[in-house]
Amino acid sequence: MRVKKSLLTATVVGLLIVGSAAPAFAGTADTGAVTMMVRVNGQEVPFDSSFPTQPLHLHGTPPIQSTGPHTNLINFDQWYGCYTLNHDDDIFATFYTPSQNEQPGREINLRCGNSSYGYKHIESGKKADWQAKFDGAVNAGWIPQSQGMQSWDDLMAVAAGDAISYPNFSTVNQFNQTTCAVVNVDFYKEGVGLVYTFNARAAYSNTNDRLITAFPQSSTICPPGLGD
């Protein structure tokens, strides 16, 4: 059985958002709804199905798909390849670093991984932290299903992709050849304002295409020595 890679390719491209820095809700959220925002080129916009970075939906064994690939689901072959066959290099999502000098950014992949990097590394060490933020947003009134999310790893995938492509802060660690990037993740209620927020950090390799880890934090920067 051949494992299909990159079924869920969350390719983040350089979206150009023009207008006010204030969150814009028109046509994207129900009145009074709590909406997760993503940061694009310095602007906060509501996350929806048109945003390239999509949820993972990798929680529990997914059903075998009888009608072919689904946009936001990892199929049975991919789940089996990662957790049963231990295919470390299977790709779950793809992001891009910021472009420089009109050149496209570098590709960064969230792979199945192992205890040192990737999805398994994040799940084993940071799942509880992501679950706490997921629950906190829900307690603030967010309905994850309204934005196509169901679990902590959906939130992680979107936040990590936003940090990699549109960081508020980033720094290179020359010693271990990694880059750390941080972005704020905000939840707004229309007519009220900000109701929940946290910062998300992503750390990725500068010598290969691996996303090493991603986790929520209180700091807006990357403290020295705390890369992963």
Per-residue pLDDT tens for 45-60? 998 766 656 665 544 4
Contact present, 3 and 87 (Cβ < 8 Å):
yes
In this predicted structure, the answer to whether residue 144 has a pLDDT above a threshold of 60 is: yes
Q: Above pLDDT 90, what percent of the chain?
A: 58
In this predicted structure, the answer to whether residue 85 has a pLDDT above a threshold of 70 is: yes
126 vs 49, more confident:
126
Q: Is the dihedral of CA 118, 156, 59, 78 positive or negative?
A: negative
| 141 Cβ contact list (under 8 Å, min separation 6) | 33, 34, 189, 195
In this predicted structure, the answer to whether residue 202 has a pLDDT above a threshold of 90 is: yes
CA dihedral 162, 166, 171, 177 (to 10 degrees): 60
pLDDT tens, residue by residue, 160-194: 999 999 999 999 999 999 999 999 999 999 999 99
- Cα distance between residue 63 and residue 130, in whole Å: 24
Strand pairing class (178-189; 193-205) = antiparallel
- Cα distance between residue 123 and residue 92, in whole Å: 14
